[in-house]
A and B are shown apart, each in its own frame.
Chain A
Amino acid sequence: MTTTWRSQIAPKLQVLLMAYTCAIWIWPPIHFVASRAWKLNPWKFGGWAMYTQPVPDVRVNVSRDAGRATQTLTPEYLYLGVPGGAEAHVLYSKTRELWGRLASPVGLANAVLSHFPDQPAIRITVRTRGMDQDGRSHMETDVYLCQRADGSPACQRE
């Protein structure tokens, strides 16, 4: 019984090791391309790009049209005035820091739009601090227009 079990492990282990070795060779270049394309956090996801640039510092703001003016809903307002706003804001900020543009702002938009039933749309602004090739610290801004739709809101990067 033991012999059978052990003899079954050996070939599977060889396949596993082969797959593992291929994966660790192939993954880092893909990681680099993906990190650049989607602004993924280069420190994470096993690409060995720690200490290549500062950890992305993400600031998320929400704004809505209030008559003629635009009202910015500060994180403090979301935390105190919007039910579920704190959780949604923290979750989106954290996922955005990790997953970059792959992180969806729909959850945050849903929490805010639920609080303002007459509001047709909101804007979510994501500012990410990074570093350019010359060593300049800079802010990169993405703005999402999130509109009320059937079911969950639909968000699009402007």
Chain B
Amino acid sequence: VRLVGDPLGSSIRDDDVAADEWRFRLLQAGLTLHIGASSALWLWPRSHVWAGCVFIVMFLGCGASIVGKYSWLPGLALLAVSLSEYVGVPIALLPVELANHNLVEHCVYGMTLLAAAGDAQGRAAVVSAARTTVAVVLFYAGCQKAWYGHYFDGQYLAWLNSHEPRFHEFFRLIGLDAHFTSDRSALQFKATSATGVLLSNAAWLGEITCGLLLLSRRWVEVGAVGGLLLLVAIQMAARELFFAGLVAQLLLLFLPLRTAVAATPLVGSFYLLLLAARMSSNGLEFGR
């Protein structure tokens, strides 16, 4: 097995083909963990044995992705298990089960499996497509908030503060719940202070800005770090940890290779902790 240079050494420049090769392998390993963990959690209440099998295939897939050999084999198995979640769901109701990030994870993972069996150019192109994906996600998430117009006066954050306990807890934690407290009986929701309006507008403006920075050549790392910070801030309230894991992995593709490699144990630990927490406590809701 030939490994392409030392990803933590200084011999690989960030614009080298070898750097893209390593990024591809890290992305595929990370997505294998993501899809595997998600499938194992889905199977866990149905069959501990099958969940265990998925667990083993997931680790084999991660290893194969890092080594760069036969990674498509366990990958295809995981993708099949993951897609089997939707078997039997009426087509008209399929979008109920299919969150937006599920679409992205299956598309990007499917492309990594194809590219793994192809050439280095294809793998670099998949890395590039994955980067574009996260830029598009951030950019349009912000645009949609602006288009719907429920953030200009903090309307939607005030609604969330009133209706969603996880958001209320977060606002209370950071001492901002009073800025979004609306009179529920009046059925009108708005931020009650300039700080609330500022925070609400910062959310969509931050997403658009980070998305655009990721598309620039000069400010791409600023965009990636900004995106990661924004993600952490949003997910402290939203707690959609699988979505967060996926977006974080895609954002890591923009950072220098050494940083991405150094973050790999964090990504692995994140999914293993998520699996352990969800499998050990049926009552705890850690989000999708």
Contacts and interface: CB of A to CB of B under 8 A. Distances in A.
Interface residues of A, number: 42
Nearest to A31: B144
Given A9-B114, A10-B119, A13-B115, A131 B156 contact: yes
A44 B100 contact: yes
Contacts of A54: 156, 159, 163
Contacts, number: 134
Interface string B146-181: 011110010110111001000000000000000000
Interface residues of B, number: 49
A16 to B, nearest CB: 7
Contacts of B121: 10
A133 interface: yes
Nearest to A14: B125
A149 B51 CA distance: 50
A137 B115 contact: no
A158 B46 CA distance: 46
A105 B143 CA distance: 33
Interface of A: 5-6, 9-10, 12-14, 16-17, 20-21, 24-25, 28, 32, 41-54, 91, 94-95, 98-99, 103, 131, 133-138
Interface of B: 90, 92-93, 95-96, 98-100, 103-104, 107, 111, 114-115, 117-119, 121-122, 125-126, 128-129, 132-133, 136-137, 140-141, 143-145, 147-150, 153, 155-156, 158-160, 163, 182, 187-190, 238
Q: Which 8 A-B pairs have the closest CB atoms?
A: A135-B155, A49-B144, A52-B148, A28-B140, A9-B118, A44-B95, A137-B187, A135-B189
